[in-house]
Amino acid sequence: MKGLLLVLLAPFANLVVALEPLRRAWAHAKFAARIRGSVDTSVVLQDAPEVHGTGRISLGKDLYLYRGLYLETQEHGSITVGNRVVISRGVHIVSFARITIGDNSMIGEYASIRDANHRYGSDTPIRDSGHDAKPIEIGRNVWIARGVTILPGVRIGDNAVVGANAVVTRDVPADTVVAGIPAKPLAAKVAN
């Protein structure tokens, strides 16, 4: 039975493979329609990111964007992505101020980069209390590993590495490897 199903479904699988360029072109057009910037033809999209808010998103060239991305800009927030950046599956980037990602950086699966926190502590429900935002800057050639959380006001220097599942609460100097909760330096990066 299984063999018969495989024989019957094989032509459909070939059709899906043949239509892949069309699906990617549709994702490209859909994404470009949702943002204020443009999407260069060199950008490879596995699927159109989920975009919310103002659409203040600026993209470089030769990006590789995986499926399941969530990009949100609110108030005066903006997201700027440099050239040759890879953003992996399930990454969330939310900006109320400004988030910049430098050239040649890589962001691992399910990372969360958010430049704002909800206000709390008054009689106003947290949902209605507004946000406090501080810009985030990720330098060039930075490797943000899987599951990392980057909090408001952080600057990550060029050539830094942030270990898997770290929570970055403070600036990371250039050429440094950090890991942990909160992220702390492990060592200076060894030159190649």
- Residue 74 CA to residue 63 CA, distance in Å, equals 23
Task: Please list the active-site residues.
Answer: 118
The tokens describing 131, both together, are 């946000």
Packed helices 20-34 and 2-18: angle between N→C axes, nearest 10 degrees: 50
Does the pLDDT value for residue 6 go beyond 80? Answer: no
Does the pLDDT value for residue 192 go beyond 60? Answer: no
- Residue 29 CA to residue 41 CA, distance in Å, equals 10
User: CB–CB of 148/162 below 8 Å?
Assistant: yes
Report the 3 state secondary structure along 140-191: CCCEECCCCEECCCCEECCCCEECCCCEECCCECCCEEEECCCCEEEEECCC
What is residue 188's predicted lDDT score, i.e. its pLDDT?
A: 67
Summarize pLDDT for 52-84 with one digit per residue, the tens.
999 999 999 999 999 999 999 999 999 999 999
Domain ranges of the chain: 2-188
User: CB–CB of 22/42 below 8 Å?
Assistant: no
Tell me the CATH architecture of domain 2-188: 3 Solenoid (2.160)
Percent of the chain at pLDDT > 90 equals: 72
What is residue 16's predicted lDDT score, i.e. its pLDDT?
A: 65
Summarize pLDDT for 128-165 with one digit per residue, the tens.
888 899 999 999 999 999 999 999 999 999 999 999 99
CA of 107: how far to CAs of 7, 66, 86, 133, in Å?
A: 40, 10, 6, 21
